[in-house]
Amino acid sequence: MIHLLQVSTANDAGSYLPVGIQVIFAVGLIVLLIGVTHLLGPTRKTSDKLQTFASGIETHGDARQPMAIKYFLTAILFVLFDVEVIFFYPYAVNFKELGWNGLWAVLMFVGFFLCGFIYIIKKGALKWED
């Protein structure tokens, strides 16, 4: 009679021990390094260091002033259409296996895509002149 080696698939606490040790080690190292830098690092607070810094550019105006929605709308539309284009990749990779059903699905997707684009153009979402 042949005995087969059984692989234990039980989720006991011992199987998580290496992960727990690694997490404890990582958190401990982070706390240690932050503590050492605060203890050994310089703490000179000058007026130059306490001023707000924006990439070396002098601050002017209020950050709460209204901004044109066109910037945000253009960014959101770019992301939207960029993500939609990503859906063409699986079709391009598997177009032989998908056959005619895949072709009709992609044509329908392109049709919806174009309807949305035409709607955006007709609404004037990409016109910058106000």
In a domain, 17, yes or no: no
Query: What pLDDT, in 10s, does the model give residues 2-53?
Result: 555 555 555 677 788 889 999 999 999 999 999 999 999 887 788 877 777 6
In a domain, 70, yes or no: yes
The pLDDT score that the predictor gives to residue 28 is: 97
pTM of the model: 0.42
In a domain, 31, yes or no: no
The pLDDT score that the predictor gives to residue 25 is: 97
The pLDDT score that the predictor gives to residue 30 is: 97
Burial class (CB in 10 A: 0-12, 13-18, 19+), 70: middle
Domain count, the chain: 1
In a domain, 48, yes or no: no
In a domain, 128, yes or no: no
In a domain, 87, yes or no: yes
56: left (phi over 0), alpha (psi -120 to 50) or beta: left
The pLDDT score that the predictor gives to residue 86 is: 84
Report the C-alpha gap between 80 and 122 in whole angstroms. 17
Query: What pLDDT, in 10s, does the model give residues 77-127?
Result: 888 888 888 888 888 888 888 888 888 988 998 898 889 889 888 888 777
In a domain, 100, yes or no: yes
CA distances 58 to 5, 46, 50, 118, Å, are 71, 18, 14, 42
Tell me the longest C-alpha to C-alpha distance in the chain: 87
Q: Are 106 and 87 in contact (CB under 8 A)?
A: no
CATH code: domain of residue 109:
1.20.58.1610
- Give the orientation angle of helix 69-86 with respect to helix 88-123, to 10 degrees: 150
In a domain, 36, yes or no: no
Q: Give the range of the structural domain holding residue 98, as residue numbers without chain letter.
A: 64-123
Report the C-alpha gap between 68 and 109 in whole angstroms. 32
pLDDT at 76 over 60: yes
Better-predicted residue by pLDDT, 5 or 58: 58
